[in-house]
Amino acid sequence: MVNRLSPRDAMFYFLDESRTTTHLGALLILSPQKEQNAEDAGPKGQGASSNASARSTLDYPSLVTLVENRLQLVPRYRQVVREVTLGLARPVWVDDRDFDINFHIRRAGLPRPGGPGDLADLIARVMSRPLDRTRPLWEMYLIEGLADGKLAILTKSHRCLLDDGGGTEISEVICDEQPEPVTLPEDLWMPGSPPGGTRLLMGALGEALSRPGDLVDTVTNGNGLVSDIRSAVETTVRRVGGVVQQLTDSAPSSPLNAVGTSTRMFITASVPRRGCAKIAQCYGCTVNDVELAIISGVMRKWLLSVDPGASVADTVRVVIPLSARDPGVERTVETDPGWVSVGKPSFVTDLPVGEANPAVRLAQVAGLANRYAQSSRRVSLGPRPLFPELGVVPFPEFSSRAFRSLNSRGYNVPVAMGTTPIADRFLLGHRVDEVFAVPMLVAERALAISVVEYGDNLQFGFIADRGVIGDLPVMADFVAESYEELASVV
């Protein structure tokens, strides 16, 4: 039996085009050399610590070995997408018989000493390129040459790999919660035989005709196939109606929704979490509110820098996880917090960028978020295909354009925001110093932001359309300035 992409995964697969590369990922920063030197500096003859005994050399061969061992946890990462002739059914997942892990894991180097700007430029180039659709839809880079002997690992995964069932991004799979690396049993993976085009075509036709008895029942009782189609149409009408309802309360006009180019820019910034928690305690709000207030300050400063003589718009509309207001929305016993989160219930709220006073801005951010999290008009389950009930996708390009058109003005900026602090993570026994999520940037959006609560810091990641926001690096400075504005009034 074939394994089809879910309706939403198929939507993201077909949304992918030259200017809409629906991939995301993560950036991990480590200091393996620094840790090794600290051990060598210990008293002579003293035994190595238990952490040191668990630590392995972190280089390209060891990374490949680790990923090979962990791929059994994410089988999609060894599969390719096969489309069905004439779009008679959604595409299917099939094993890649020519799977070559060395194609997916690559080495990259920065001119020494590699600074943050050099690393950001490399990440921007990687994230600008579409993934090879003839292979499994992911890449990983071991980046050398960073200052102070640091290493970086960049992952890049297509959105459709992270299915609605809770698929995990590869960067989370290769990390451990304890210094001792977890070694899984040897994985003797053997690819299955891929179905041919004729088999896929016949399978699609077979699915369409698998219930011939229902057709008779439909004529006599008015249910069955026609009833299913009627239900699908009614559900689709309700969905489109919901989108239209959101459009009547559309986001403010902004260059953040401009159509740009296929090239990207990426920057990161960090602020101390303890300081943000102190600000939240002083104002009686949450750390998530402080994060949004910092982003509000960044947007205000950027809009003023674009045209100092123009008046700043009153608001910028963002979409954030609903769990930022109610942590119980995503809380389950089985799952641990991660830094790449997709497909979660979200809501749309406004950032009061027109307010000059940072303290007042924070109070307004918290008040608006509390109000809109309770509004059914503002709650969203995220991007959804227009016709999920129908298995046939004969015009995927047209459907994708229609989806982008309908969804283009619901908000200005998506914000991927973690709602639980993430404890230390280790890779081959080496502590991960910093974790940044690389958010997905879709059409009609010039900017996407992520925030990860890791260790002692809040880690901000910004990805932008270079053709629209060519001055993205200034936003890193604006993060620090916005934080200092809030901290100064505590």
Domains of the chain: 261-415+443-488 (3.30.559.30)
pLDDT at residue 402 tops 60: no
The candidate with the shortest Cα–Cα distance to 338, out of 162, 125, 84, 115, is 162
Would you state the structure tokens that stand for residue 191, as one six-digit string? 């690819």
| pLDDT for res 280 | 95
- Whole-angstrom Cα distance, residue 490 to residue 122? 38
Q: Dihedral of the CA atoms 399, 400, 403, 405 (nearest 10)?
A: -110
110 or 336, higher pLDDT? 110
- Binned at pLDDT 50, 70 and 90, residue 406 comes out as very low
- Whole-angstrom Cα distance, residue 312 to residue 78? 48
pLDDT at residue 100 tops 50: yes
82 or 480, higher pLDDT? 480
pLDDT at residue 285 tops 90: yes
Residue type (1 letter), 29: I
- Whole-angstrom Cα distance, residue 441 to residue 127? 10
pTM for the whole thing? 0.84
For the chain, the maximum distance between any two Cα atoms, rounded to a whole number of angstroms, is 90
162 or 45, higher pLDDT? 162
- Binned at pLDDT 50, 70 and 90, residue 33 comes out as low
Would you state the structure tokens that stand for residue 358, as one six-digit string? 């940072």
Count other C-beta atoms under 10 Å from residue 105's C-beta. Answer: 21
Whether 124 and 25 have beta carbons less than 8 Å apart is answered as no
pLDDT digits (tens, 9 = 90+) for 190-215: 887 766 666 665 565 555 555 444 43
- Whole-angstrom Cα distance, residue 450 to residue 447? 10
pLDDT at residue 435 tops 70: yes
| pLDDT for res 249 | 59
**Length of the chain, in residues:** 490
